[in-house]
Amino acid sequence: MKGVSYLLLYVPICLVVMLVLEACRSDNPARIVRRSFSNFGMLTLVLVVGGALVWTINRWL
Amino acid sequence: MISVREAQFVALAVAFVVVVVTVSAKKSERIRGLAVLLAWLVPGAGHVLLGRWRKGLFFFSILSATYVFGLWIVGFKAISWDDNPFYYVGQWGSGATFAAAQLLSLQKPYPREGIPPSWFDPGLLYVCVVGLLNLVVVINVLEVKRSPAGAPAAPPAPGASDPPPAAPAPPEARA
């Protein structure tokens, strides 16, 4: 697990990307923030589940 | 690092496009073209020119903060063509980051002391992503409606997305 701290940098850059993309779509700040966090959560969930699946396959199969 | 001749070619090409658009376009299109150029030069400046100053300030603050944070990680040395061509070209998405890359990429980037070395690549990625995100903002300038300075965006007309009401049935159908 050495050097895995760089994964922390995923959070701010991903939030910045989501915020800019949503700000291009909408003018409502509350909607921009809500949808950005919602998309960020969904993307993170997909990545975590995918990573867990790959880890499981490599570990047990 | 591009040569002086390449820089002159790029400057001439940009000047040619500006002159052609200025001569041939209508006034509203000229303002939008200027907004696109400004949006490329400085993130958010195009939205400010079109009266969307809140959104322009938002884009400027969030993109510049991300860019400075990425530069801070890599020791304020922007990436050059020799280090990574893909990350280098990514900085062309904004005139500000492009200019900084030309000025700062004379020395190789290095991981800042006290920062884990594994953060180096993500730091370069931050710098590149800001340029790419600014391209999205530039494209958004083409779509945004112009509003007077300081005025909020006009809300959509009520029922604009609703289907039109059905026409009354003809008399013979009712009979």
Of the candidates A9, A16, A21, the beta carbon closest to that of B119 is on A9
User: Within the 13-52 window of chain B, which residues sit less than 8 Å (CB to CB) from chain A?
Assistant: none
Distances (CA, A) of B46 to A35, B110, B117, B162: 24, 33, 37, 32
B116 interface with A at CB cutoff 8 Å: yes
Average pLDDT estimate for B128-143: 91
Residues in chain A closer than 8 A to B62 (CB atoms): 16, 19-20
User: Between chains, do A17 and B122 touch, taking CB under 8 Å as contact?
Assistant: no
Q: What's the rounded Cα separation, in Å, for the pair A38 and B90?
A: 27
Residue A12: list chain B partners with CB under 8 A.
66, 69
Q: Do B119 and A5 touch (CB under 8 A)?
A: yes
B162 pLDDT more than 50: no
pLDDT band at B175 (very low <50, low <70, confident <90, very high): very low
Q: What 8-state DSSP symbol labels residue A27?
A: S
Domain residue spans in chain B? 4-151
Tens digit of pLDDT for each residue in B24-75? 777 777 888 888 888 988 999 999 999 999 999 999 999 999 988 988 888 8
Q: What average pLDDT does chain B have?
A: 77
- Residue, of A54 and B127, whose pLDDT is higher: A54
Cross-chain residue pair B137–A24, CB shorter than 8 Å:
yes
Instruction: Provide the domain count of chain A.
Output: 1
- Do residues B118 and A5 make contact, with C-beta atoms less than 8 angstroms apart? yes
Alpha-carbon span B84 to A44, nearest angstrom? 27
pTM over 0.90: no
B122 and A13 within 8 Å at the Cβ level: the answer is: yes
Q: Write the burial class of residue A4 (CB in 10 Å: 0-12 exposed, 13-18 middle, 19+ buried).
A: exposed
From residue B140, give the alpha-carbon distance in Å to each of A27, B37, B38. Answer: 12, 13, 13
Task: Say if residue B161's pLDDT is above 50.
Answer: no
Q: How large is the ipTM?
A: 0.85
Contact between B119 and A6 using a beta-carbon 8 Å cutoff: yes
Q: Is the pLDDT of residue A37 over 60?
A: yes
| Greater pLDDT, B142 or B99 | B142
Look at residue B4 and tell me whether its pLDDT is greater than 80: no
Q: Is the pLDDT of residue B146 over 80?
A: no
Give pLDDT, residue B123.
84
